[in-house]
């Protein structure tokens, strides 16, 4: 599988502030590569360097076989961008937004018209083709922005938080579209702070925080490696939290404390730990669920992924028992 993007010790400083502080990663042809992290992690800065908007201030970055510092024009021709903020022309119709963009790429009118109709159909926007963009819903605007990013049939599509701010239904619709684009062989780079989005779509991902990569790999592998299979969410009197952790220490790979809830990370089988919970007098309630990427982020940083946190987290990792 040829490498489409390769970053080595990639850095970006804004007036001395290191927004991206020396990261390495590779993106393979045909995959959906995710950049997951909270606000301010450096996600937009990374993708903006890939699409040759922000100049690199250190290290090297090659995209589609060209160095971004030497050959931005060659790269820009072959990639599509869906920026974090919608920047559609609100006064033009849905179709005109696509045609104008095609013009920037020097695509012949007849070709552009055909391609626009195909994209409108693919994204379920045909019925809205003549509407002013101002009048369509947020989810449709987002789909149109993705369609616009595809008008010149790029080899690589970059999506910066494609579903942020959308309702769950519109979000799922976009996920389906992205899945079918991937099936057609398009390489996707996606930034997100939604762990479910990353788990659903990404073959490989990096988890970023404060300009560095905390972890990388396939979502399922990361979860298994960092957390295990299951999480027991235990509601326990705060004064007995440490007693609880002590009683299951040999059965868990780590834990998180947040208020009166203790999250116990279980490598494989939770049966033994559950027996202990059932027998204990100070456990109020508990539930068993599958481990997810949010747990990974919590374990790595002691903070939640999506929101400002109150800092009332405490975490510790144990060496795996198996």
Ligand X SMILES: Nc1ncnc2c1ncn2[C@@H]1O[C@H](COP(=O)(O)OP(=O)(O)O)[C@@H](O)[C@H]1O
Q: Decide if 236 contacts 272 (C-beta within 8 A).
A: no
For CA atoms 189, 113, 71, 18, give the dihedral sign: negative
CB of 309 to ligand X, least distance (A): 16
CB of 211 to ligand X, least distance (A): 7
Cβ atoms of 227 and 253 within 8 Å: the answer is yes
Single out the residue of 4, 27, 44, 178 in contact with ligand X (rule: CB under 6 A).
44
Is 97 among the residues that bind Mg ion (CB under 5 A)? no
Which range, of 36-44, 67-75, 139-147, 273-281, touches ligand X by CB under 6 A? 36-44
**Residue 179 Cβ vs ligand X, minimum distance, rounded to whole Å:** 23
Task: State the minimum distance, in angstroms, from the CB of residue 44 to ligand X.
Answer: 3
Contacts of 271 (CB under 8 A, 6+ apart): none
Tell the smallest beta-carbon distance from residue 319 to ligand X (Å): 32
Q: Which residues contact 236 (CB under 8 A, 6 or more apart)?
A: 244, 260, 261, 262, 282, 283, 284
Structure token digits, residue 184? 């057609």
Q: Are 171 and 94 in contact (CB under 8 A)?
A: no
Select the residue interacting with ligand X from 7, 19, 75, 298 (CB under 6 A): 19
**Considering only residues 31-50, where is the footprint of Mg ion by CB under 5 A?**
43-44
Q: Does the protein bind ligand X through residue 42 (CB under 6 A)?
A: yes
Backbone angles phi, psi at 2, to 5 degrees: -70, 150
Q: Give the contacts of 132 (CB within 8 A, at least 6 positions apart).
A: 90, 91, 92, 93
Task: Assess 192 for contact with Mg ion (CB under 5 A).
Answer: no
* Residue 170 touching Mg ion (CB under 5 A): no
CB of 221 to ligand X, least distance (A): 23
Q: Give the one residue of 43, 95, 128, 171 binding ligand X; rule: CB under 6 A.
A: 43
237 and 305 in contact (C-beta within 8 Å)? no
State yes or no: residue 14 binds ligand X (CB under 6 A).
Answer: yes
- Candidates 8, 39, 69, 242: give the one binding ligand X (CB under 6 A): 39
Residue 76 makes contact with ligand X by CB under 6 A? no
CA atoms within 13 A on the CB side of 31: 19
Per CB under 6 A, 23 contacts ligand X: no
Where on the chain is the footprint of ligand X (CB under 6 A)?
14, 17, 19, 37, 39-45
Where on the chain is the footprint of Mg ion (CB under 5 A)?
43-44
């Amino acid at each position: 599988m040829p490498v489409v993007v390769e970053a080595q010790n990639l850095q970006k400083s804004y007036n001395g502030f290191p927004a991206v502080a020396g990261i390495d990663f590779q993106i393979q042809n045909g995959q959906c590569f995710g950049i997951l992290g909270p606000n301010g992690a450096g996600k937009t800065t990374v993708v903006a360097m890939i699409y040759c908007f922000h100049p690199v201030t250190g290290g090297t970055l090659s995209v589609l076989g060209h160095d971004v510092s030497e050959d931005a024009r060659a790269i820009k021709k072959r990639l599509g961008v869906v920026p974090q903020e919608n920047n559609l022309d609100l006064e033009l119709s849905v179709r005109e937004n696509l045609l104008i963009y095609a013009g920037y790429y020097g695509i012949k009118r007849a070709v552009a018209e055909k391609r626009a109709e195909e994209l409108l159909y693919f994204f379920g926007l045909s019925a809205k083709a003549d509407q002013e963009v101002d009048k369509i819903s947020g989810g449709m605007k987002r789909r149109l922005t993705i369609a616009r990013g595809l008008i010149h049939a790029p080899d690589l599509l970059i999506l910066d938080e494609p579903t942020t701010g959308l309702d769950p239904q519109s979000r799922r619709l976009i996920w389906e579209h992205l899945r079918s684009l991937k099936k057609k062989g398009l390489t996707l780079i996606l930034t997100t702070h939604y762990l479910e989005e990353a788990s659903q779509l990404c073959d490989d991902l990096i988890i970023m925080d404060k300009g560095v990569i905390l972890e990388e790999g396939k979502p399922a592998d990361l979860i298994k490696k960092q957390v295990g299979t299951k999480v027991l969410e235990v509601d326990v009197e705060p004064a007995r939290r440490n007693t609880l952790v002590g009683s299951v220490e040999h059965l868990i790979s780590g834990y998180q404390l947040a208020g009166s809830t203790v999250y116990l990370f279980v490598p494989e089988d939770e049966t033994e730990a559950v027996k202990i919970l059932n027998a204990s007098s100070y456990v109020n309630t508990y539930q068993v669920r599958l481990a997810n990427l949010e747990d990974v982020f919590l374990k790595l940083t002691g903070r939640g992924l999506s929101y400002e946190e109150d800092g009332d987290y405490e975490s510790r990792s144990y060496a795996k028992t198996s």
